Structure 1
Amino acid sequence: MTKAYFKAILREIWRSKARFFSILLIIFLGVAFYTGIRATGPDMLQAADTYFAKQKLATNSVQSTMGLTKADTKVLDKHQDVLTYQAVKYLDVNQLNNNRVVRVSELPTKQSLDQLTVVSGRLPKRANEIVLDQQAKRLQPSLKLGSTYRIVSSKTLNQKFKRRTFKVVGFVNSPRYVENVSRGVTTVGKGTLDYLAFVQPKTLRLNVATRIDVQFKNLAKVTPYSATYKRLNKQNTAKLKRWLKPQAKKRQQQLQRQARAKLKPLAQQVAALKAQVPATTPALVKLTAQLKAATAQVNAIEKPTYLYTDRSDNPGYTEYHENTQRVVALSTVFPLFFIAIAALICLTTMTRMVEELRLQMGTLKALGYSNAAVGSEFMIYGGLAALVGTGLGVGFGVNFFPQFIAQAYGSMYNLPAISVQYLWPDIMVALVIALVCTLGTALVVLRVDLRSLPAQLLQPKAPKAGQTLLLERWRGLWRRLSFNHKITLRNLFRYKQRLLMTVLGIAGCMAMMITGFGLKDSIGDISSKQFNELWHYDAIVTRNGQETAAQKRTISRPKLYQNSLLLKSKQVTIKQNGVAEQTATLGVPKAMAQLNRFVVLRNRQTHRVYHLSNQGAIIDEKLAKLYDVKVGDQLPIKLAGQTTKKVKIAAIAENYVNHFVYLSPTYYQHVFGAKPVYNANLVQFKTTNEKKENAYANTLLKQAGILNVTLMSTEKKTNFKMFDSMNLVVLIFVVSAGALALVVLYNLTNINVSERIRELSTIKVLGFYDGEVTMYIFRENLILTGLGIIFGCFLGNWLHAYILQTAETNALMFSPGIHPMSYVYSALLTVAFSLVVMIMMHRKLKRVNMLDALKSVD
């Protein structure tokens, strides 16, 4: 390539800088989207991996129904070459003074595992100091550094604390609980933990450890969630079970020895009395019976059950990985969808460029330049746009999108900020795609012209021939159309490639905007549908047993009270291979016929109302989807302390937040072999008032036997605060789609004007005003925009459904509908972009030099 030829290429880039920068911008947007969203999932996983390693999160945990002793830790001491362990003591407490269920744990003298992250303040150093989970601050805003924290629970639990008044010296995050809302299940109070508290050792009166946390050394450098991690963890769990298996029998024998030692004085007393009095003496008979009963109890002491869990049982751990996989799923379809539009526009742009430079190509070929040299101009032109666009796109996308999306998920998890990673395989794929979009399309367009003779290239290309439209045969309508309208319709079908590209480009952008607005609708509808249409109660009152007369009076006496429903409410777990363990609320209403006044159980699509029967359970739609079950199938559920039971599914009902399983009293007894204990009330209020509701809850908590009062207004405020951050994701969709729509419309309109500049100059010479010349083009654009909007509505529906399916969490189901106004907003934005482009084109057309445009190219 000569120096002069290279200068000519640079001049061509500068002469057609609008076209060059439009290609660059399209490549930039496509690459930024692809590399940015592709990097988000790995970046989020890397942040979790680093956090778990830094805080030394345990890989496994062991618990026992009778506690864990030093004999258990001695077994683990023998295997210190392969593991590290830490014994933990904790109590779950139902706080009667603040209506919360709290896990109070003693901090080990040295935190070798599960190290806490101090968010503010410091860790406790004295016996009267306490640190609280960061979740406590969200649930109880009055808690601050330096404030007094009191533990007020049942008399039995209070006695297990050496002190119950503490000074708050810090707020922390535990690596065991990365999710901001859930803290797992418990057998205390309402069945779920609200937050955690940590105190100094020897605060609790416990003789044995509650849990032993274990970290296997062979997993230290293995990436969490990977197949290798799962395989090694399975082997490690099997080893742990094998090592501790003999301990159950030893612990049983130890407890029996301790119990017999306590009986020894009684046995000696009976033996001494037998030697002194006849066997029929009443006192001897009574003592003998007591000894016999006590001995029977000692012999009845069973072996403790050892429970083995791993990280996947921690709330949020598995779900976080599933969320990153959802982002990965989005990154495979959405950016490619974006790039496909870019490829179409590049094809149109490069086609126009080749047609414009036919004369130059013919001249160069006549001068003896080879096909490679002639084609190199287009290769350099397109390649430079691809390289610069890719470089800028990677720099922007990798640094912006992961941070933006992780921030949206950040409200759901307490993990540290992500670090940017440049994933070179994905960057290379993006570069190849960008080069294919430019160089590939240029080669496709050049393949004919490079084979042509110079004489053919030096002649102008014949304009596209007009053709008779089918619409012209409808003579009644065609005669009534004005000349301008007839020309518009003929031109639309004359340039079919432009018609197709414009419609597809606008449809793609319209689809992405509909998806963005649709996501906002789907997220926003969760709150209104769940709390206004499906749940018609204002509070849940949890007791320690059946309702007493005093409790009934306390619940129904305040003026705020309207109605209530007695039911059994317990947390159950559902576990199945391939699906993260789910927690659901088991509900058994005493008055089955009254349930639908408090909870609407209906089909989501038909709104047909379901009623409980004695033939099976009603479960929520998301739970059925997760476990791939339908009506008539069996679902395994497990109550704490009981074996897994299977329930038959009688109906699947609409629900958006959390999971439920409703059974009739008769069916519950059939499944679990016992009558339900109605330990809860769903309560309806006459009016909603935060101050009155809090006063009502405080009154109930003073009543003996009432463990917890959950106000739905508080739940709504807490659970849906996280959805505000999802607006960031919606903003990404709308802004990105809008930017692409603007570039697409500008590029295609600019090409259209360039192709027909002689035609437009001719009509200007014939006396058309500037506005009429602009409308000559704008009418076509408006029709194409309308067609793109119509096609985009269908495409947007499909893309929105796909995004919802991949973006849902396990405990959440999005409302699948899109509001009509979302279609209107998307259409109006698309039309607005079209108007902006036409204003720009109008200014360009006003400055057209008609004489130059009409010069012959012969």
Structure 2
Amino acid sequence: MVGAAMTAAYFKTIMREIWSSKARFASILLIIFLGVAFYTGIRATGPDMSQAANDYYAKQKLATNSVQSTMGLTKADTRVLNQHRSQLTYQATRYADVNQLNNSQVVRVMVLPTTQRLNRLRIVKGRLPRHANEIVLDAQAQRLQPKLKVGSTYRISSTAKRNAQFTRRTFKVVGFVNSPTYVENTNRGVTNVGKGTLDYLVYVRPQVIKSSVITRIDVQFKNLRGVTPYTAKYRRLNRENTAQLKRWLKPQARKRQQALQAQAQAKLKPLRQATQQLASQVPAGTAQLVKLQSQLKRAKAQVAAITMPTYLYTDRTDNPGYTEYHENTQRVVALSTVFPLFFIAIAALICLTTMTRMVEELRLQMGTLKALGYTNTAVGSEFMIYGGLAALIGTALGVLFGVNFFPRFIAQAYGSMYNLPAINVQYIWMDIGIALAIALLCTLGTALVVLRVDLNSLPAQLLQPRSPKAGKTLLLERWQWLWHRLSFNHKITLRNLFRYKQRLLMTVLGIAGCMAMMITGFGLKDSIGDISVKQFNELWHYDAVVTRSGNETDQQRQALSRGQLYQASLKLQAKQVTVKQSGVAEQTATLGIPAPHQSLSKFVVLRHRQSHQAIHIGDRGAVIDEKLAKLYGVQAGDDLTIKLAGQTTKRIHISAVAENYVNHFIYMSPTYYRRVFKQAPVYNTNYVRFKQATKKQENAYADRLLKQAGVQNVTLMSTEKATNFKMLDSMNLVVLIFVISAGALALVVLYNLTNINVSERIRELSTIKVLGFYDGEVTMYIFRENLILTVLGIIAGCFLGNWLHAYILQTAETNALMFSPTIHPLSYVYAALLTLAFSLLVMGMMHRKLKRVNMLDALKSVD
């Protein structure tokens, strides 16, 4: 046994070993650092982003539900909710939408409640208004109009009718705010004013808006406080709450109708009395009496025409950006399930190779220590301490860097899209524990496996070098025609490659793994970027969607085609249907019935995704989108169950499945629609195609159409496309992280494997230097092997990357979105060029090392 004094000397030996092989120690530490940083950082990103949103919603008291009515809301409605205040908190809101004539922007002027019980504004600059002449603006207003600042003058300038809604129209700007209702940075929802979409909001004191009719009531149910948004529990409680809210307010529709009829009858009374009085004084056919009687008849018809108002119920999922933000966090979560594990697996593979090489190098030292009386535990502890230190330091640094960098960087990439405060990083101890366990397994575990044979060997066996691996005849040598045409150097290169099969396998797998991750990163960029390009440029060939309350009138048709901007339009019925099937989340799809359906191809391209073969709508079935078909596991020839609002479920036959990337659609011919639904379609929508137009011209066209009776909304596809591209640009930044991280790992992997290759063959390389090889020739001796292994790794990585890309797409897609599964050829080229560049860089570093090799020391005999 060895005494305590020797133990202290042994620890000095271990520290000396770490210092003498600091490049190898650093490479193990760096690989573990990269693997752990990527794993823990990406794994924490999704939860960090979700937590930031959850905290924000709770702090700003975001409403869980909202109620509106087609005839406005009254205090009678609030009294009903007041009876249930033990279950909820509510806040009545008044607002008026105006189209600013000076810049064609549509603005919602909202009353700021004296006490903000719900949807509390977050002040970005300045303060909230205290007086009637003060106003705060949505922060989006300053992005659209950079000249607006705290202290500047703001003026409401719209039509005379809309201006009349306000007691004053000139204000002093005292601040800029964000509302939790609008999480998305640019989208502020829809309106029936102007172009149909809101640009931003402004907030004024209550006395500024004249109308006392409540526009909306926001509600927050107390049973949802503390429940994490987006979870199954939240959705279940929200469904129950919405149903309860509808039951409470259902009687109000009839009461509101009766109240409006009573008010109208009261106004009718003087007219009725005047008619009766005049009838008793003049003959029946008198012109004045006839006029009064016709006025009375029209007034009675108006009273009779007062119908029950429709109460509209919405929840958080209808808020712009609320659901989209969650979907983006889920995409990051989906990526974090596979990508980091793949990343850390490559790190583990390289650690295995490095630790194996270390054990091989220190055979002589192990034999000496065993001969001196050290136990197997003491001898093996050097490797345990060496690997354990690298694992612990690498893990600690990796966690600190990864958890603090990746979530912040990715969240900042999304920051341009959302009005959310900065995230607070959190350490997810389970993931950190898994990362540490994998790091220790990579070092200690592999060392134990490799040491198992050597520690059971006798000291005499360990003190002798391991016998060189015997050479074997290659299969390639049997191909005499080729083999005899190879140069001597090329023959040596091929023999060395196949002589060390473990090194060949490890190098090819390591490079293939890094190559696969880079291809996946570039491929994700392609798949995400192709969504907008293919959907808006290749599949959709219309510039606006005009929605009406019913069939097209002559006036609407004339307004639609008026002006130089208009080129063509297609009339169709567009209604929302739900698709239901057990085991699959309910989906909403747009049911389109074009008239005539043969003209649809001029506005919407229906085609098979792979062959691009055109699809035509027939009278025996419907065409559905590919994502919908995937979700429900159906194909052409199958049936699908759908439900139109107010009707029972219907089974439709699928005649074809068409390429599509955004949302869901079902197209039918009018004949097939009548057969399924037993009614004629109501053509309530137009797809409109423009000639070349500016944004200003498009907005003016939308403004003019919205002034037509019966036109409910005009959606400009340029706005939709811009929003879509903005979201995808943010995703590109996330993808960039994956590419850079994979590239960094590829560099470290190549360096480590090349360093091991050079270290274990240092005697061989010294021998050929002694034989007269120049430095460049010695480097090429190694580089030829590395280049072949790199190329093999690149080829294998292409196939592996293709599989990994497809797998990640499958997990990252949301229900309403389909990524393009195609990887552009350039992405393979970029990944291959990067890998080759890293290989050249590493060989440049190795060339400097080989030039400094001391040949005499390397060739000293160990016998």
Using the size of structure 1 for normalisation, the TM-score is 0.88
- Contact 2:355–2:443, Cα closer than 8 Å, also in 1: yes
Inter-CA distance 799–393: structure 2 relative to 1 (3 Å threshold): same
Q: Distance in 1 between matches of 2:771 and 2:344?
A: 42
Identical aligned residues as a percent = 73
**1:705 corresponds to:** 708
Counterpart mapping for 1:366-515 below 5 A: 366-515=371-520
Q: Does 1:365 align with 2:367?
A: no
**608 and 160 in structure 1: CA distance in 2 versus 1, 3 angstrom threshold:** farther
Is 1:347 the counterpart of 2:349? The answer is: no
Aligned partners of 1:499 and 1:784 also within 8 Å = yes
Deviations 1:210-252 (A, max 9, x none): 3221223343333323344344444444543444444445445
| Alpha-carbon distance between aligned partners in 1 of 2:159 and 2:331, rounded to the nearest angstrom | 42
Read off the aligned partner of 2:753 and give its amino acid letter: L
- Taking the TM superposition and a 5 Å limit, the aligned residue runs for 1:580-729 are 589-615=594-620, 618-622=623-627, 625=630, 630-631=635-636, 633-634=639-640, 636=642, 648=652, 650-657=655-662, 662=667, 664=669, 671=677, 673=679, 676-677=682-683, 680=686, 682-685=688-691, 687=692, 690=694, 694-695=696-697, 698=700, 701=703, 705=708, 716-729=721-734
1:567 is the counterpart of 2:571? yes
AA of the residue aligned to 1:515 = T
Contact 2:355/2:446 (CA < 8 Å) preserved in 1? yes
Match of 1:18 among 19, 23, 37: 23
What amino acid maps onto 1:68 in structure 2? L
Distance 1:231 1:540 in 2: 34
- Name the residue aligned to 2:90: 85
Q: Which residue of 2 aligns with 1:29?
A: 34
The alpha-carbon distance between structure 1 residues 390 and 554, as it changes in their structure 2 partners (threshold 3 A), is closer
Q: Say whether 1:757 aligns with 2:762.
A: yes
Q: Does 1:321 align with 2:326?
A: yes
Matches of residues 97-116 of structure 1 in structure 2 within 5 Å? 102-116=107-121
Deviates more, 1:81-90 or 1:458-467: 81-90
State the partner residue of 1:730. Answer: 735
- Cα distance in 2 for residues equivalent to 1:524 and 1:292: 62
Structure 2: 5+ residue stretches without partners: none
* Aligned partner of 1:215 among 217, 220, 231: 220
Residue type at the aligned position of 1:451: N
TM-superposition CA deviations, 1:433-474 (whole Å, max 9, x none):
111111011111111111111121112111112112222222
Alpha-carbon distance change, 503 to 38 in structure 1, aligned in 2, over 3 angstroms = same
Cα distance in 1, alignment partners of residues 559 and 55 from structure 2: 54
| Aligned mates of 2:560, 2:72 — CA distance in 1 | 38
1:36-73, CA deviations, whole angstroms, 9 ceiling, x for partnerless residues? 01110111011101111121101222334443322222
Q: Which residue of 1 is the match for residue 789 of structure 2?
A: 784
Pairwise CA distance, 1:278 = 12
Larger displacement relative to structure 2 (722-731 or 79-88): 722-731
SS at match of 1:480: coil
Counterpart CA distance in 2 for 1:214 and 1:279 is 57
What is the one-letter code of the residue matched to 1:476? W
Quick one: distance in 1 between partners of 2:174 and 2:639?
A: 52
Q: Which position in structure 2 is the counterpart of 1:775?
A: 780
Deviation at 1:405, TM superposition (A): 1.0
- The residue that corresponds to 1:336 in the other structure is 341
**What per-residue deviation string (whole Å, max 9, x for no partner) do you get for residues 364-412 of structure 1?**
1122111111110000000000010001101110110001111222223
What is the identity, as a one-letter code, of the residue corresponding to 1:383?
A: G
The 3 A distance-change label for structure 1 pair 814 and 121 is: farther
- The aligned amino acid for 2:41 is G
Give how far 1:656 is off: 3.7
Change (3 A) 1:169 1:680: farther
Structure 2 residue 52 is matched with structure 1 residue 50? no
**What amino acid does structure 1 have at the position aligned with 2:487?**
S
Unpaired segments ≥5 residues, structure 1: none
C-alpha distance in structure 1 between counterparts of 2:729 and 2:329, whole Å: 19
* Inter-CA distance 571–413: structure 2 relative to 1 (3 Å threshold): farther
Give the distance between the partners of 2:160 and 2:624, measured in 1 at CA.
34
Deviation larger for 273-282 or 158-167: 273-282
Residues in 2 aligned to 1:492 and 1:547: alpha-carbon distance in whole angstroms: 79
Cα deviation for residue 131 of structure 1 reads 4.2
Partner of 1:394: helix, strand, or coil? helix
Q: 1:614 to 1:268 in 2, by over 3 A?
A: farther
- 2:697 and 2:261 map into 1 onto residues whose CA distance is 49
1:376 is paired with a residue whose SS is: helix
Cα shift at 1:827 = 0.8
Superimposed CA distance per residue, residues 787-806 of structure 1 (whole angstroms, 9 cap, x where no aligned partner): 10001001111222233344
Residue 819 of structure 2 corresponds to which residue in structure 1? 814
Output one character per residue of 1:666-691: Cα deviation in whole Å (capped at 9) or x when no partner: 56677594554566452332x56x4x
**Secondary structure of the corresponding residue to residue 209 of structure 1:** coil
Displacement of 1:702 in angstroms is: 5.5
Moved more, 212-221 or 191-200: 191-200
Q: Which segment is superposed worse, 105-114 or 502-511? A: 105-114
Distance 2:42 2:556 in 1: 58
Q: Indicate the SS of the match to 2:373.
A: coil
Alpha-carbon distance in 2 for matches of 1:398, 1:292: 75
Relative to structure 1, the CA distance from residue 420 to residue 746 in structure 2 (aligned partners, 3 Å threshold; closer, same or farther) is same
Residues 413, 734 of structure 2: 8 Å contact kept: yes
Shifted more, 542-551 versus 126-135: the winner is 542-551
Query: Residue 681 and residue 534 in structure 1: after superposition, are their counterparts in 2 closer, same or farther (change >3 A)?
Result: closer
Q: Which moved more, 1:605-614 or 1:540-549?
A: 540-549
- CA distance in 2: counterparts of 1:488 and 1:330, whole angstroms: 40
- Distance change in 2, residues 1:319/1:694 (3 Å): closer
Farther-moved stretch of structure 1 (572-581 vs 835-844): 572-581
In structure 1, C-alpha distance between the alignment counterparts of 2:673 and 2:141, rounded to whole Å: 35
Question: Conserved in 2, the CA contact under 8 Å of 1:149 and 1:168?
Answer: no
* Residues 1:70 and 1:539: Cα distance change in structure 2 (over 3 Å): closer
Q: Deviations over 1:98-132 (max 9, x none)?
A: 55555443222222110122334544445455544
SS in 2 for 1:61: strand
Q: In the alignment, residue 483 of structure 1 is paired with which amino acid?
A: F
Q: Does 1:312 align with 2:317?
A: yes
Please tell me the residue identity of whatever aligns with 1:595. L
C-alpha deviation, 1:743, in angstroms: 1.0
- Matched-pair contact (CA < 8 Å) for 2:196–2:714: no
Kindly report which structure 2 residues correspond to 1:499-578, keeping only aligned pairs within 5 A, or say none: 499-538=504-543, 546=552, 548=554, 552=558, 555=561, 557-558=563-564, 561=565, 563-568=567-572, 572=576
| RMSD of aligned residue pairs (Cα, Å) | 3.9
Q: Cα distance, 1:503 vs. partner?
A: 0.6
- Deviation of the 1:521 alpha carbon: 2.5
Residue identity matched to 1:563:
Q
Shift of 1:813: 3.8
CA distance in 2, matches of 1:452, 1:728: 54
Moved more, 251-260 or 367-376: 251-260
Q: Distance in 2 between matches of 1:574 and 1:186?
A: 24
What is the CA–CA distance in structure 1 between the aligned matches of 2:23 and 2:656, rounded to whole Å?
Answer: 60
Q: State the shift of 1:342 in Å.
A: 0.7
Counterparts of 1:573 and 1:188, CA distance in 2: 26
Q: TM-score scaled by structure 2?
A: 0.87
